[in-house]
């Protein structure tokens, strides 16, 4: 049964964990990959007295010295829960296909849940997890860290003030490089499924998922009801199952187009960004840097903003009723994108005549010829690669509505 909160904690006021509250007892499931980032963040929060990392779980033991001496180490969540009572927060940072069962197991306790992105690998599993969260009364924070940026409030204000005129559309551009070693790092990397279990590890659902989620949040598309349609145009340059070069075009319930043009087959990695296209200017949000560049006829301004930590926010929500930054229900719009990708036909291979390779051995990476221009045109024109007539693209994108 959920731990009852006081009337004050239900008020929804924002804030950070109070000094009077005891440190939250936290367990981390998954200490490798992005779990290592959580370890570093938990060390910072523990030093500040906000958390106590009491246990970790991973079938692959953590590196010596990477886990605080006082934290117990278990091979899995089942063993961790059996040996660790009275947890306040469980963080799950494990492979995508494990999120649903581990998330459900965490929600069967009295702990709140921090679940890494993407939440789960299908819309059906998402609905099951949402129902479980509601039935348990537990809170679920989804790990879209970019949503903690204070620049989002600034963007909302400048749109409301008409700084860039009428908002006509939003786009997300992602140009990253991922080499052969990236796809060799785990059994599930680059897979659509394993042994009949959905994985959906594509460019829009994992490496550049924050680009999609951030664009949707800025567009006001949070829940499934906020999305009218999703179109996918999926390709792959690498010898993998999933897409590595794609356009995802969303139309919100209010009719606003949101176009995400993404690749991990660029010539060089560039910080991804979300662009607000207005009738009188643009606002470009470099979300990994919390940097916002606004361009209007009056000139250009640039500002870097702060960011709220999602783990601290979840604890503040638990202790003080702070508003959750990335609650599970607000991932509904993103999950419609994931579901459209999951149910779309397999990504189309990009022919070798349209590629070249840089590097050697496991450091080699594919580069789609002219991909930078293709991404720029796709976001500027809100068009798919096929509509742009790219020589490696098929004639029409798949659509889900």
Domain count of the fold of the chain = 2
Q: Which of 218, 183, 177 is nearest to 201 (CA)?
A: 183
Boundary (domain end) residue, out of 96, 131, 146 = 146
Do residues 156 and 133 share a domain?
Answer: no
Q: Which of 348, 346, 359 is nearest to 237 (CA)?
A: 348
**Is the predicted pLDDT of residue 13 greater than 50, yes or no?**
no
**Is the predicted pLDDT of residue 324 greater than 60, yes or no?**
yes
Side-chain half-sphere of 116: how many Cα atoms within 13 Å? 24
pLDDT band at 401 (very low <50, low <70, confident <90, very high): low
H helix runs in 19-122, sequence order: 35-47, 77-83, 99-107
Do residues 120 and 205 share a domain?
Answer: no
Q: Say what the pLDDT of residue 1 is.
A: 29
Q: Which of 308, 269, 265, 300 is nearest to 282 (CA)?
A: 300
Residue 316 lies in a domain: no
**Is the predicted pLDDT of residue 10 greater than 90, yes or no?**
no
The distance of Cα 121 from the centroid of its chain, to the nearest Å, equals 13
Lowest mean pLDDT among 13-17, 193-197, 378-382: 13-17
| pLDDT > 70 in the chain, percent | 93
pLDDT, one tens digit per residue, over 137-157 is 999 999 999 999 999 999 999
Lowest mean pLDDT among 15-19, 150-154, 299-303: 15-19
Do residues 140 and 185 share a domain?
Answer: no
Question: What residues form DSSP beta bridges with 300?
Answer: 295
The angle that helices 151-160 and 209-218 make with each other, rounded to 10 degrees, is 40
pLDDT, one tens digit per residue, over 75-90 is 999 999 999 999 999 9
| pLDDT > 90 in the chain, percent | 91
Do residues 76 and 13 share a domain?
Answer: yes
**Is the predicted pLDDT of residue 20 greater than 50, yes or no?**
no
Q: Say what the pLDDT of residue 394 is.
A: 84
CATH of the domain at 30: 3.40.50.720
Cα dihedral 98, 104, 109, 111, rounded to 10, equals 70
Compute the average pLDDT of residues 233-240: 98
Q: Which of 353, 344, 346 is nearest to 392 (CA)?
A: 353
Residue 120 lies in a domain: yes
**How many Cβ atoms are within 10 Å of 228's Cβ, its own excluded?**
15
357-361 long-range contacts, Cβ below 8 Å, gap at least 24?
358/267, 359/179, 361/180
Full residue range of the structural domain in which residue 214 is found: 150-306+328-400
**Is the predicted pLDDT of residue 171 greater than 50, yes or no?**
yes
Q: What is the DSSP string of 363-393?
A: G-EEEETTHHHHHHHHHHHT--TTTTT-TT-
pLDDT band at 11 (very low <50, low <70, confident <90, very high): very low
pLDDT band at 397 (very low <50, low <70, confident <90, very high): low
pLDDT band at 5 (very low <50, low <70, confident <90, very high): very low
**Is the predicted pLDDT of residue 16 greater than 50, yes or no?**
no
Do residues 38 and 172 share a domain?
Answer: no
Question: Do the Cβ atoms of 134 and 26 come closer than 8 Å?
Answer: no
Residue 99 lies in a domain: yes
Q: Say what the pLDDT of residue 186 is.
A: 92
Backbone angles phi, psi at 34, to 5 degrees: -70, -15
Q: What is the DSSP string of 252-291?
A: ETT--EEEEEEESEEEEEEEEEEEEEETTEEEEEETTTTE
**How many Cβ atoms are within 10 Å of 9's Cβ, its own excluded?**
15
Q: Which residue has the tokens 């109070």?
A: 18
H helix runs in 110-179, sequence order: 123-136, 151-160
pLDDT, one tens digit per residue, over 207-226 is 999 999 999 999 999 999 99
Do residues 228 and 369 share a domain?
Answer: yes
Question: Do the Cβ atoms of 24 and 51 come closer than 8 Å?
Answer: yes
Do residues 19 and 130 share a domain?
Answer: yes
Q: Is 179 helix (H, G, I), strand (E, B) or coil?
A: coil
Do residues 390 and 243 share a domain?
Answer: yes
**Is the predicted pLDDT of residue 17 greater than 90, yes or no?**
no
Question: Do the Cβ atoms of 280 and 297 come closer than 8 Å?
Answer: yes
Question: Do the Cβ atoms of 99 and 90 come closer than 8 Å?
Answer: no
pLDDT, one tens digit per residue, over 248-272 is 999 999 999 999 999 999 999 999 9
pLDDT, one tens digit per residue, over 326-342 is 999 999 999 999 999 99
Q: Say what the pLDDT of residue 176 is.
A: 98
Do residues 79 and 162 share a domain?
Answer: no
Residue 2 lies in a domain: no
Question: What residues form DSSP beta bridges with 116?
Answer: 143
Compute the average pLDDT of residues 265-289: 98
CATH of the domain at 250: 3.30.360.10
């Amino acid at each position: 049964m959920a731990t009852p909160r006081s009337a004050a904690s239900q008020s929804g006021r924002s804030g950070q964990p109070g000094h009077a509250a005891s440190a939250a007892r936290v367990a981390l499931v998954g200490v490798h990959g992005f779990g290592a980032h959580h370890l570093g963040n938990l060390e910072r929060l523990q030093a500040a007295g906000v958390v106590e990392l009491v246990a970790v779980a991973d079938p692959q033991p953590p590196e010596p010295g990477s886990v605080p001496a006082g934290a117990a180490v278990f091979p899995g969540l089942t063993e961790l829960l059996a040996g660790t009572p009275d947890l306040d927060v469980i963080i799950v940072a494990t492979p995508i296909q494990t999120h649903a069962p581990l998330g459900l197991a965490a929600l069967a306790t009295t702990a709140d849940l921090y679940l890494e992105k993407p939440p789960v690998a299908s819309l059906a599993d998402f609905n099951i997890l949402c129902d479980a969260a509601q039935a348990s009364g537990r809170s679920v924070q989804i790990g879209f860290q970019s949503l903690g940026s204070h620049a989002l409030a600034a963007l909302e204000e400048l749109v409301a003030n008409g700084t860039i005129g009428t908002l006509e559309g939003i786009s997300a551009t992602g140009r990253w490089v991922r080499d052969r070693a990236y796809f060799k790092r785990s059994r599930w990397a680059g897979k659509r499924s394993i042994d009949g279990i959905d994985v959906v590890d594509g460019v829009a659902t994992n490496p550049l998922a924050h680009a999609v989620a951030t664009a949707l949040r800025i567009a006001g598309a949070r829940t499934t009801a906020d999305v009218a349609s999703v179109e996918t145009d999926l390709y792959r340059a690498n010898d993998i199952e999933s897409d590595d070069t794609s356009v995802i075009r969303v139309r919100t319930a209010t009719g606003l187009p949101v176009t995400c043009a993404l690749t991990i087959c660029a010539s060089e990695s560039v910080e991804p960004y979300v662009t607000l296209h207005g009738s009188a200017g643009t606002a470009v949000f470099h979300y990994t840097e919390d940097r916002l560049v606004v361009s209007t006829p009056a000139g250009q301004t640039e500002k870097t903003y702060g960011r709220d930590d999602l783990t601290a926010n979840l604890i503040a929500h638990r202790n003080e009723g702070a508003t959750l930054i990335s609650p599970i229900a607000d991932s509904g719009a993103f999950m419609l994108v994931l579901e459209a990708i999951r149910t779309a036909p397999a990504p189309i291979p990009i022919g070798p005549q349209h590629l070249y390779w840089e590097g050697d051995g496991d450091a080699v990476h594919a580069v789609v010829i002219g991909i930078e221009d293709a991404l720029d045109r796709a976001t500027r024109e809100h068009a798919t690669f096929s509509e742009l007539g790219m020589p490696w693209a098929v004639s029409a994108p798949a659509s889900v509505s």
